[in-house]
Amino acid sequence: MQACKISNSFCSSPKIITAFIIFLLVFAAQLTPLNAQLSSARDLTGTWQSSISGMYYDMDPSDSNTRMNDVTATFSMDITQQGSQITIILNLNPTSWKTDNAYWQQYQMSGVPPAGGGSIEFIGTVSSSSFTADEQGSQLTQEHLAGTFTNDIITATLTGTSETTDQNGIVVTRISSSTSVPTQAPTNTPLTTNQATSRYFGNMQITKGQAWTKNANVNTPISSGKIASGTEMLTGDNSIVAFNPPNQGGTVYLGANSDAGWVALTSQPAPDNGIVYSIYPPVSSGVIFPNGIEQLKEMAYTIPLEAAIAVGVFGETVGLSLAVAVVVEGGVFLITNGIAYIKETTSHLVAVPQGALAGLNTEYVVNVSSNGTTTVQVINGPVIFMDPSTNNTVTINTNQMLTLPPATQSGFSAQNLHSDVSTFNPASTSQWWTQTTTGASILDNLSSQPIILVALVLLIAIAIAVPASAVAKRTKKNKLHH
């Protein structure tokens, strides 16, 4: 009876009905996002691929707001999802490219050729029908990927400082899916093989002492890790730094009190059926040793010519296409002052003030003195020196050395180069590159840090004081007993 009265009162009052409907709407609005949070998003784990070509844009390295190249490509994604966390490997597969009109209008030159596509790793979050993710493992570029999806189609937009697309410029469809969900959430593992940018990064390891990068006339301490094209390195009085170019196959050990660096190269066919070489990033952008000494800048401008000579020399031995790949993928290591030991199974280009050096499965030492003289001692040859001023070359074989006077504008004649070659005994050379960090060098490094040095002194003082105090107490006690 009471229930009927309540029901009748409720049904007969429009205000109560309106209030109840509003309550239901508010409750539903609050419940829906809560339910969305509790319900996991659709599992995107699997492989996704575009069925038709699209386009992405390489951005100008010196101005990330300007498109440099318009690249026609296909796209694919390898996706791993755990709950709301998602890892995406975006693969760029270019088929053709052209210089963007904006870049041509600004520089009146063609853009740097694309590096042949590659992969970019993204980690982010996914909701019921969309995702957003950021690039991982790169300190040079900052890429962002955002998109929406259905059961079988992903539509995404790529933005960033290196590559971009138009809005919804990436469309891929699912071609396979995982039958099991990963047991662990994706982790922020650094990207180790990004083919799109790998040729612009080398690896450096400090095996002894300290090293610095030179930027805006300020020396900044560096540690082991990746270094980008255009990095200038300085070493200390008792330092050894190991460098590996992108194509591996060899190591350059930079010795004490040295000033050196590394730059990447790109290549493209020239109008006369030859090959054009470009430094990356372009020298015109001011990125290559922007505040280094003038000699480094001059060397940077001559590298394309030296690379052309290297290809001409090695093309006869290993074939033109392989010679191009060797020179371009390895880049050029520049030594403006100091000493370096080079051991390689794959040829690399080494630039000194007088020209360029390259070998085939070689081992040699290069010493550029402060007065401009360069000495090349070959432990296992052959090593070829190339003069960019005259196009003359000379081969230095095992147990031989080349001593070059300071560089001149006129270069070296073939006769002078051959007369500068003499015999060399490898046993007479101290193998400094085999040294590792020693106790003395550790103390040297500690002494450069005042706080650490003070702590070290206090520890030594305590270590001496405690035993001394114990001895004093024992002596006093013995005297009292007597």
Give the pLDDT band (50/70/90) at residue 135: confident
- Confidence (pLDDT) at 418: 94
Q: Are 239 and 209 in contact (CB under 8 A)?
A: yes
Q: Do residue 8 and residue 76 come from a single domain?
A: no
Q: Do residue 86 and residue 34 come from a single domain?
A: no
Residue 264 maps to a domain: yes
Q: Do residue 318 and residue 252 come from a single domain?
A: yes
Give the pLDDT band (50/70/90) at residue 15: low
202-241 b/e (C-beta count within 10 Å ≥ 16 → b): bebebebbbbbbbeeeeeeebeeebbbbbbbbbbbebbbb
Q: Do residue 299 and residue 203 come from a single domain?
A: yes
Most confident of 242-251, 297-306, 358-367, 472-481: 358-367
Range from 236-245, 260-269, 297-306 carrying the lowest mean pLDDT: 297-306
Q: Do residue 204 and residue 262 come from a single domain?
A: yes
Residue 17 has pLDDT above 60, yes or no: no
Higher-confidence residue: 191 or 6?
6
The arithmetic mean of pLDDT across residues 228-235, rounded, is: 86
- Confidence (pLDDT) at 183: 31
Q: Do residue 323 and residue 377 come from a single domain?
A: yes
- Confidence (pLDDT) at 443: 35
Whichever domain contains 81, its CATH number is 2.40.128
Residue 192 maps to a domain: no
Range from 26-40, 44-58, 379-393, 403-417 carrying the lowest mean pLDDT: 26-40
Number of domains in the chain: 4
Give the pLDDT band (50/70/90) at residue 444: very low
Mean pLDDT, the chain, rounded, equals 76
Q: What does the alpha-carbon distance between residue 118 and residue 255 come to, in Å, rounded to a whole number?
A: 34
Residue 398 has pLDDT above 80, yes or no: yes
Burial of 343 (0-12, 13-18, 19+ CB in 10 A): middle
Count of positions (residues) in the chain: 482
Residue 276 maps to a domain: yes
Q: Do residue 15 and residue 50 come from a single domain?
A: no
Whichever domain contains 408, its CATH number is 2.60.120.1440
Residue 53 maps to a domain: yes
Q: What does the alpha-carbon distance between residue 259 and residue 265 come to, in Å, rounded to a whole number?
A: 20
- Confidence (pLDDT) at 341: 96
Give the pLDDT band (50/70/90) at residue 180: very low
The arithmetic mean of pLDDT across residues 221-228, rounded, is: 82
| Tens-digit pLDDT profile for residues 19-35 | 555 554 444 444 444 33
Residue 402 has pLDDT above 70, yes or no: yes
Q: What does the alpha-carbon distance between residue 46 and residue 86 come to, in Å, rounded to a whole number?
A: 11
Higher-confidence residue: 420 or 331?
420
Range from 189-193, 205-209, 219-223, 320-324 carrying the lowest mean pLDDT: 189-193
Higher-confidence residue: 409 or 235?
235
Q: What 8-state DSSP symbol labels residue 356?
A: E
Residue 361 has pLDDT above 90, yes or no: no
Most confident of 39-43, 247-251, 467-471: 247-251
Q: What does the alpha-carbon distance between residue 62 and residue 164 come to, in Å, rounded to a whole number?
A: 15
pLDDT more than 90, % of the chain: 27
Residue 439 maps to a domain: no
Residue 1 has pLDDT above 60, yes or no: no
Q: Do residue 136 and residue 24 come from a single domain?
A: no
For the chain, the 3-state helix, strand and coil shares in percent, each to the nearest 5, are: 30, 40, 30
Q: What does the alpha-carbon distance between residue 232 and residue 5 come to, in Å, rounded to a whole number?
A: 89
Higher-confidence residue: 36 or 392?
392
What lies within 8 Å, CB to CB, of 191 at 6+ separation is 119, 120, 121, 136, 137, 138
Strand-strand pairing, 349-352 and 355-359: antiparallel
- Confidence (pLDDT) at 126: 93
- State the residue range of the domain holding 134: 46-177
Secondary structure of 408-431 in HEC code, one letter for each residue: CCCCCCHHHHHHCEEECCHHHCCC
Q: Are 388 and 355 in contact (CB under 8 A)?
A: yes
Range from 150-159, 213-222, 399-408 carrying the lowest mean pLDDT: 213-222
Give the other-Cβ count within 10 Å of 43's Cβ.
16
Q: Do residue 465 and residue 341 come from a single domain?
A: no
Residue 186 maps to a domain: no
Residue 337 has pLDDT above 70, yes or no: yes
Q: Do residue 332 and residue 422 come from a single domain?
A: yes
Higher-confidence residue: 126 or 348?
126
Residue 142 maps to a domain: yes
Residue 306 maps to a domain: yes
The arithmetic mean of pLDDT across residues 409-417, rounded, is: 90
Q: Do residue 32 and residue 123 come from a single domain?
A: no
The arithmetic mean of pLDDT across residues 169-188, rounded, is: 58
- Confidence (pLDDT) at 482: 54
Range from 62-66, 95-99, 371-375 carrying the lowest mean pLDDT: 62-66
- Confidence (pLDDT) at 378: 96
Higher-confidence residue: 134 or 269?
134
Q: Do residue 171 and residue 305 come from a single domain?
A: no
Residue 179 has pLDDT above 50, yes or no: no
171 phi and psi angles, rounded to 5 deg:
-130, 120
Most confident of 63-67, 277-281, 455-459: 63-67
Residue 449 has pLDDT above 80, yes or no: no
- Confidence (pLDDT) at 271: 61
- pTM metric for this prediction: 0.54
